[in-house]
Structure 1
């Protein structure tokens, strides 16, 4: 069965591409942009509360893990009841979690707010949910490109929000800054109305396959397993760098402004990288794109660790990593849609992202734990290098053709 045959809605019943991309891009800009700056809170929160870095890192590790665990269930609900309802719930959870972060006075409370609540919220208002709508509402011929546009929007949010969050912390204090972010998260509610799909969007031949059958099919398929393993590495690398690089640079005597500039550059060049990956996915084999991205990440880290550390080297590294940062997202999700169709794209994308978040948990937690044990991040940097090589190799055998299914009898 071709991916086009699993497209859910006839063009007449689809939302306009402009509406889907505008609302989806703004939602991802907010949801991803807010979380990208969380590393800026590590210093002020641990200093004022008297916590270790591991306490803060563990909370964000739980955030990534709970995001991953909740992701498939949020995807199931979005596939079944529509993305709009899930997005609204995600927005409300996000705002509540951010507000409670500001008043959490113990490590356990902070883990509950910054970890569990914000993690669950992100499962309902980030890529998997938005990509489900894109997959169902945009023609397959432009699907990879459209996913690249949405990912680029999230990247722009990272570029935009890091200096905004740094400004808020500097001028309002870290607690008031979190309250402002909570209000910003609520903007997702009106934007979600633009992604309310027509009833026909859940129809089509793909609806004849049950959720259980779809899961058995995906998890029994070798290429799906390889994509999940590669996404684990993606999560490990980007979350370790995003959370711990500000402290790594501070430990080496660089000014806080260097870390802020580095995160902003990652976000800025991520716009270019994600859009380019999405556009190339319409022309080149996506497995080759993914293998190249993972391999180049390892090369970039090795060079960064072996040249003298300076603001210039940090900015160059951030530029290169920005180009490779979330550029895995469009080709990975496009491959899932290409293999299995779009009927359960949010759910299957949620399971792939669960693997990403297990990697995120390990990256952010090991960063804090090994730093507290050794006084250095060196071991975790080299783990990230080895994992990048591993991910490059395992993406090469991925088969991108639509899975062959026997004819399903009508109910």
Structure 2
């Protein structure tokens, strides 16, 4: 990156504050919604499976919006996309208490809130960060941005629980919606698009169209394996975010343990995300991903065998927190390493679609499993098997930068 481009960029600390802060607010609101599942069920009487369907659709829609949001951000700028996304998150969250049907909950939770969080989500934020920071600092920068989402979960979960106790679940949701609007100023800092001055390497070659970039990526076995592994990540984290309060209740523990468990996941994921952001510049990213998935599988196995107490629940949350979203920096790093920053938001958005297909199944099957058996044992077994599969899937990935595709100049 030359000196002229460096001078044109906003300060690194401001970029990280804007991106991490936005992710903290949108992710914190989304990841705290599992705390309201029981209250929504009591207020509507729809049943756990029907309400889980709305949350599951939200997981899927959050992923499906990201490649399209990424395409728009790559062309017209991240700032406008982020403004629309934040407004939709706030609107959808505020409308949840007024929805008394499955279709209404799908619209508020699944379409508005989740769609807005997808527009103001990792694909746009990671791409904006990658574009605005020097290449040698991208690994740590993406780790810090990812940690922002975890910090949001750490802060929002106890706030949501406290507001619910003090003023009721409806007021708590509407308060979270108002807090989310604090992310709007960040859009100005992160404005701009990938047609701005770029770095060297793949981005220095004449830019591919989104269709050409997608075609090239989908033809690459390493990219497909990356998508498959991220599917497993989505299954794990969406199940935990939505059903961990239910797991706590099924273990006979007080409701506040569910809120603190989610907060502990968020707190320890800050450690995991920042550490992973530091590690990706020192070790092979595919090996780090295999290690994360293997750790998850072993942690779930230990939890299944251990007696269920408050201490065990919080230790389990801490271990899962370290690995919770620490998959994002190496996954985003591999996409950037393969294809450069030019279509980063689009290509990472497609990886996020795979993640959220897994999230859809994790949330929906979690509700179905509990209604069928009165416990989550089958989900834990599925978690272990999928973690083992993901750990193995990343090993064949060829971790080297792909040669930039030279496009013919127009006549």
Give the TM-score, by structure 1 length: 0.95
Q: Does 1:101 align with 2:96?
A: yes
Q: Is the 1:39–1:243 contact (alpha carbons within 8 Å) kept by the matching residues of 2?
A: yes
Structure-1 residue corresponding to 2:160: 165
Structure-2 residue corresponding to 1:262: 261
Gapped runs of 5+ residues in structure 2? Answer: none
Among 137, 150, 153, which residue is 2:148 paired with? Answer: 153
Structure-2 residue corresponding to 1:191: 186
Equivalences for residues 8-407 of structure 1 within 5 A: 10-197=5-192, 201=196, 205-407=204-406
Cα distance in 1 for partners of 2:285, 2:193 equals 30
Cα distance in 1 for partners of 2:267, 2:184 equals 26
Q: Does the C-alpha gap of structure 1 residues 202 and 65 become closer, same or farther in structure 2, counting only changes over 3 Å?
A: farther
State the Cα distance separating 1:293 from its structure 2 match: 0.1
Larger mean CA deviation between 397-406 and 165-174 belongs to 397-406
* Residues 148-174 of structure 1 deviation map (CA, whole Å, 9 limit, x = unaligned): 011111111111111011111111111
Q: Is the 1:68–1:358 contact (alpha carbons within 8 Å) kept by the matching residues of 2?
A: yes
Q: Is the 1:25–1:151 contact (alpha carbons within 8 Å) kept by the matching residues of 2?
A: yes
Q: Does the C-alpha gap of structure 1 residues 198 and 212 become closer, same or farther in structure 2, counting only changes over 3 Å?
A: closer
Cα distance in 1 for partners of 2:129, 2:310 equals 39
RMSD of aligned alpha carbons: 1.6
Q: Is the 1:90–1:121 contact (alpha carbons within 8 Å) kept by the matching residues of 2?
A: yes
* Residues 52-88 of structure 1 deviation map (CA, whole Å, 9 limit, x = unaligned): 1111111010001111111110000011011000000
Q: Is the 1:15–1:198 contact (alpha carbons within 8 Å) kept by the matching residues of 2?
A: no
Residue aligned with 1:74, SS: helix
Q: Does the C-alpha gap of structure 1 residues 109 and 198 become closer, same or farther in structure 2, counting only changes over 3 Å?
A: closer
State the Cα distance separating 1:295 from its structure 2 match: 0.4
Q: Is the 2:194–2:342 contact (alpha carbons within 8 Å) kept by the matching residues of 1?
A: no
Q: Does the C-alpha gap of structure 1 residues 201 and 370 become closer, same or farther in structure 2, counting only changes over 3 Å?
A: same
State the Cα distance separating 1:45 from its structure 2 match: 1.1
Q: Is the 1:235–1:359 contact (alpha carbons within 8 Å) kept by the matching residues of 2?
A: yes
* Residues 340-389 of structure 1 deviation map (CA, whole Å, 9 limit, x = unaligned): 00001011111000000000000000000121122221111100110000
Cα distance in 2 for partners of 1:124, 1:353 equals 12
* Residues 213-259 of structure 1 deviation map (CA, whole Å, 9 limit, x = unaligned): 10110000011101100000000001111111111121221111211
Q: Is the 1:233–1:359 contact (alpha carbons within 8 Å) kept by the matching residues of 2?
A: yes
Cα distance in 2 for partners of 1:221, 1:123 equals 25
Gapped runs of 5+ residues in structure 1? Answer: none
Corresponding residue pairs, total: 405
* Residues 111-167 of structure 1 deviation map (CA, whole Å, 9 limit, x = unaligned): 111111112111111211111111111111111110001111111111111101111
Q: Is the 2:227–2:354 contact (alpha carbons within 8 Å) kept by the matching residues of 1?
A: yes
Residue aligned with 1:208, SS: coil
